[in-house]
Amino acid sequence: MVHISDLSIPNAFSSGTSIVAAQMNANFDAIETIVNTTGVPLVQDATVTTPKLATGLAQQVGLTGAGASDKRRGYVSIATEQSTTSTSYTELTTPDEITSVVVPAGGLLRVRYLALWKLTGASNAGAAAIFIGSNQVKESGENAAPVVSEAPLFNTGDNYGPLFTGSEESSALSTLIAGVSTASDSSFVTTGMVGAASTRGYWSAVDIYVAPGTYDISIRFKVNATSGGTLYVKERQLWVESIGFA
């Protein structure tokens, strides 16, 4: 493959010398030839990296900028099974968390999550929720003030079921959704899986409105204070990006 760095200008000119039209035309022809060559990247691979982008451009396309203060996206993957018996929302031993994400004025947070979870020692007594800092996200409805959003665990047996961000069929709200696995464990594949689905909804990203600022985004878990039990979670993946529009 030819790169723009392969361009060779046939004629060089210096101050005080005459310029012949044919020589100038030859220089232009050389440029035209390499630009029109099939498959030519005008910027060589790996020469423009994210820190070299203008901060405003990085904000608009959701990229991490030149430093920690420009962080626009993050990803975390935790395959190991971890558990909690906490009756209040808590992060697991290895947190599902992306920290210090900067949201510009007019921007949105986009969150996507995927995991497997189960509850032992109790039924219908677990829950998960998205947190922005220490605040549980809320969802708005008709004729009512916003209420906290969470995914209750409906498993009736000790089987792993899917937990994912998506749109609920019953309400069309974008939130965390818990799939039902009453007979056998659900599982994921590492390549070629089109998200997750259940009778309650389908996997998709959740867009969250926040004021401009820097935020920590996490997924937290708890069990019911009365029913108790132990909540297990594994194969967790969290994607977060800040999207700028201004």
**pLDDT single digits (tens) 103-162:** 888 889 999 999 998 888 776 678 899 999 999 998 877 777 887 888 777 655 678 888
54: amino acid identity, one letter: A
95 is a domain residue:
yes
51 is a domain residue:
no
DSSP state of 90: B
209 shares its domain with 126:
yes
Instruction: Indicate which CATH number applies to the domain containing 131.
Output: 2.60.120.760
46 is a domain residue:
no
24 shares its domain with 135:
no
Q: What is the mean pLDDT of the chain?
A: 80
50 is a domain residue:
no
- Model pLDDT, residue 56: 63
Task: Give percent of the chain with pLDDT exceeding 90.
Answer: 29
Which whole-number Å values give the CA distances from 235 to 40, 98, 113, 211, in the listed order? Answer: 41, 16, 11, 31
pTM comes to: 0.72
10 shares its domain with 86:
no
19 shares its domain with 68:
no
Number of domains in the chain: 2
Beta-carbon contacts of 54 under 8 Å, excluding residues fewer than 6 positions away, are none
Task: Give percent of the chain with pLDDT exceeding 70.
Answer: 74
Cα Rg, the chain, nearest whole Å? 26
Confidence tier at 8 by pLDDT (50, 70, 90):
confident
User: Is a pLDDT exceeding 60 seen at residue 38?
Assistant: no
Query: Do 163 and 179 contact (CB within 8 A), yes or no?
Result: yes
117 is a domain residue:
yes
- Model pLDDT, residue 1: 55
Largest CA distance in the chain: 93
23 shares its domain with 71:
no
179: amino acid identity, one letter: G
Q: For residue 237, what are the domain limits? A: 61-243
26 shares its domain with 100:
no
77 shares its domain with 16:
no
17 shares its domain with 98:
no
Q: pLDDT: is 18 or 220 the higher one?
A: 220
30 shares its domain with 132:
no
- Model pLDDT, residue 240: 95
Query: Do 63 and 49 contact (CB within 8 A), yes or no?
Result: no
User: Is a pLDDT exceeding 80 seen at residue 39?
Assistant: no
52 is a domain residue:
no
User: Is a pLDDT exceeding 80 seen at residue 170?
Assistant: no
54 is a domain residue:
no
Residues 5 and 41: their CA atoms lie apart, in Å, by: 10
* Site of tokens 């986009």: 110
95 shares its domain with 206:
yes
Beta-sheet pairing, 213-223 with 96-103 = antiparallel
Residues 164 and 66: their CA atoms lie apart, in Å, by: 32
Tell me the pLDDT tens digit for each residue of 46-94: 666 666 666 666 656 666 655 556 788 899 999 999 999 999 999 999 9
Beta-carbon contacts of 23 under 8 Å, excluding residues fewer than 6 positions away, are 10, 11, 13
Which whole-number Å values give the CA distances from 48 to 7, 42, 52, in the listed order? Answer: 18, 11, 6
68 shares its domain with 32:
no
17 shares its domain with 134:
no
- Model pLDDT, residue 96: 96
- Model pLDDT, residue 221: 94
98 is a domain residue:
yes
